[in-house]
Amino acid sequence: MALGLIFFFSLCFTLCFAGNVSYDSRSLIINGERKLLISAAIHYPRSVPAMWPELVKTAKEGGVDVIETYVFWNVHQPTSPSEYHFDGRFDLVKFINIVQEAGMYLILRIGPFVAAEWNFGGIPVWLHYVNGTVFRTDNYNFKYYMEEFTTYIVKLMKKEKLFASQGGPIILSQVENEYGYYEGAYGEGGKRYAAWAAQMAVSQNTGVPWIMCQQFDAPPSVINTCNSFYCDQFKPIFPDKPKIWTENWPGWFQTFGAPNPHRPAEDVAFSVARFFQKGGSVQNYYMYHGGTNFGRTAGGPFITTSYDYEAPIDEYGLPRLPKWGHLKELHKAIKLCEHVLLNSKPVNLSLGPSQEADVYADASGGCVAFLANIDDKNDKTVDFQNVSYKLPAWSVSILPDCKNVVYNTAKVTSQTALVEMVPDNLQQKDGSKALKWEVFVEKAGIWGEPDFMKNGFVDHINTTKDTTDYLWYTTSIVVGENEEFLKEGRHPVLLIESMGHALHAFVNQELQGSASGNGSHSPFKFKNPISLKAGKNEIALLSMTVGLQNAGSFYEWVGAGLTSVKIEGFNNGTVDLSHFNWIYKIGLQGEKLGIYKPEGVNSVSWVATSEPPKKQPLTWYKVVLDPPAGNEPVGLDMLHMGKGLAWLNGEEIGRYWPRKSSVHEKCVTECDYRGKFMPDKCFTGCGQPTQRWYHVPRSWFKPSGNLLVIFEEKGGDPEKITFSRRKMSSICALIAEDDPSADRKSLQEAGSKNSNSKASVHLGCPQNAVISAVKFASFGTPTGKCGSYSEGECHDPNSISVVEKACLNKTECTIELTEENFNKGLCPDFTRRLAVEAVCS
């Protein structure tokens, strides 16, 4: 959702799309003009069409020029090479048209292998079962289908006139993806494949350049690019190529059972500033909006349904503050430097042991300087052109005129916010709060006719071919009356080994226990006492996948499912069931009948109840209800459920699993931005559910009569399921008098003087809201952070009234730190700040 609050910095380059895209060693050249480009990854299947215009608009308001997306092969050809799907979330052409209508460029990463924490890396599962196929090497089948799909996409783009050479927004295309990491494992076949992929792509004659990311032997016909947390030291293979950063990771993905990696806004900004300081020309945030892995699209395995990625726009479409705003200010500062950066060569100056300046000066007298302090512990004061500048540790200051600092990466002056998930009680379609649940219980084991029988085990994935997460392995064992454990009341122990990913064990229709792997190790072992009776005992083991492998050498051959089943505790020792006769059933009965869809919901006999069963495994729940109030984004709160799948009106919300995350020594409440970031540097949410809320797009709701269907695998409490609305509960800002501002007008007014523009606080509410109250305001020496500010030793008592006068009942407001507003006589020996917290409604 776009914020009306912040002064709109237009990237208003006039996009005359028709024309030529070329490049040299410095930059892309579009219609004869050099471009310095900020790009934002937004994946069309990870949001819904109703969200696309606002996502693109928010990206543009954040100072972005380009939208980047992969093309996801397996959503367009899910079941066979003869069928193509481009409807709903998969309407690639519609998405690109929305980007073009916004006046922005697009980078199309066709791949068609994408990795992306996406199921099977984006390659259709059916291709693995074309006899003789090996992925991503010099293999005839793989190359045939890869070229066929790539050609289809290119022809579709040409038909719709979407390449820049046709007047469209697509300025770059990508083939393959990060293959350099794995090429060596394929030997000479890998080298031949990489060269073939580049040649195949270039032969498509799109009229725009092709790129290959992390391809360390890319041929000269394509541009090799960088993916990393930092790419300032990256150099293209060939001297005639521009320096392009295809993936700057502003956060990281999350797996079920793991804490949440947190990358501070200051470090993201530092990495971007350093890239442009060192001659970069195109920088893409992966992700700028991560979105949601709806349905069963998450890969990994174990990737969460949320693909929030701690991106500048959150999973629900709201700007993540202050990250979004801090980067917006960075983009403004960089754009002030664009002409000089692209038309001059830098001179590097040492300013200290870990401090340096890169100075760009063009023939017209323009001058730009980046002052960097890469010391990750100590702030420094440096002398540059006979002026002293304070540089916080691990920061870059940008001087568009080589005099005035308009931005420092470590000083966050943009608005921040507190965001909450506000519960909204589920209501029946008649408005009553007493929900009328209906229940259908699956049989543990074989429902209907068995699919097949076999002595021993089969691979889970090869059996289901990923048509479902579920595969039943069932057998039976006869227990004699003379077994000592029966006489003594002891329990034998069931021992299971599995390649992954998860399992529920049933004996005689009763759940005995569950086990699973995790995001770093899929295989697991199960060891649990079980209840056996004299006579025949049915053993039913529900094996589950949690997304397929999405990357790695020969990753398509990674299997899942049971490898050993034993029971210890018999008179004669341990009984090995591994080579027993096993009966197999693929999937669930409810899945097969489509009872989660409005058209299939009546395929079984549901049992109505006002008190649905709790902690009951293998249970389908359905209820008809009204949408939540308001227009805020919606999440489904599944804190009190176990593990399963959810749908609304037949749309796939996805896998839910509020599995608690591990407690890690690097769990923090505050993350030190200084120093190089890695995914394990700063964890948050330790000991909490990995994912509690599951995004349900507003566009999926009808005005009334919405069908919510839940399949619960191991047991939960459906009466505690609620919808929650994602709301900004408070908006805040904290700024010091000497903080820089990326403002062109103030820079021009400063002229040859070395002075910062007037510091000011900018506040703004989400769409359709106004500032209704000021909870805190203090000019002086306030301390704390948003939600917990407090007055310091020095405080102007008029602070609240000044802010209220400027902001109340307005969508956005600006408060300058001037003598007209505040008592500048306060605290002359301190750096004075203004802290504000307000409420939007």
On the CB side of 171, how many CA atoms lie within 13 Å of its CA? 32
Three-state SS sequence of 348-417: EEEEECCEEEEEEECCCCCEEEEEEECCCCCCEEEEECCEEEEECCCEEEEECCCCCCCEECCCCCCCEE
Q: Is 591 an active-site residue?
A: no
- Of how many residues is the chain composed? 841
Beta-carbon count within 10 A of 430 CB: 11
CB contact at 8 A, 682 and 261? yes
On the CB side of 98, how many CA atoms lie within 13 Å of its CA? 22
Beta-carbon count within 10 A of 422 CB: 16
Q: Is 247 an active-site residue?
A: yes
Q: Which of 61, 176, 178, 713 is catalytic?
A: 178
| 3-state DSSP assignment of residue 576 | strand
CB contact at 8 A, 702 and 649? yes
Look up residue 780 and give its two tokens.
């002086």
Counting beta carbons within 10 angstroms of the beta carbon of residue 379, is it exposed (0 to 12), middle (13 to 18) or buried (19 or more)? Answer: middle
**523: cis peptide before it, omega within 30°?**
no
Q: Which of 61, 117, 183, 247 is catalytic?
A: 247
Counting beta carbons within 10 angstroms of the beta carbon of residue 198, is it exposed (0 to 12), middle (13 to 18) or buried (19 or more)? Answer: buried
CB contact at 8 A, 462 and 492? no
**What is the Cα–Cα distance from 108 to 258, expressed in whole angstroms?**
32
CB-based contacts of 229: which residues, under 8 Å, 6+ apart? 248, 249, 263, 271, 676, 677, 678
Distances, alpha carbon 280 to alpha carbons 35, 233, 452, in Å: 11, 10, 58
Q: Which amino acid is at 389?
A: Y
CB contact at 8 A, 516 and 255? no
Least Cα distance to 473 among 505, 511, 512, 513 occurs for 505
Which residues are tagged catalytic? Answer: 178, 247
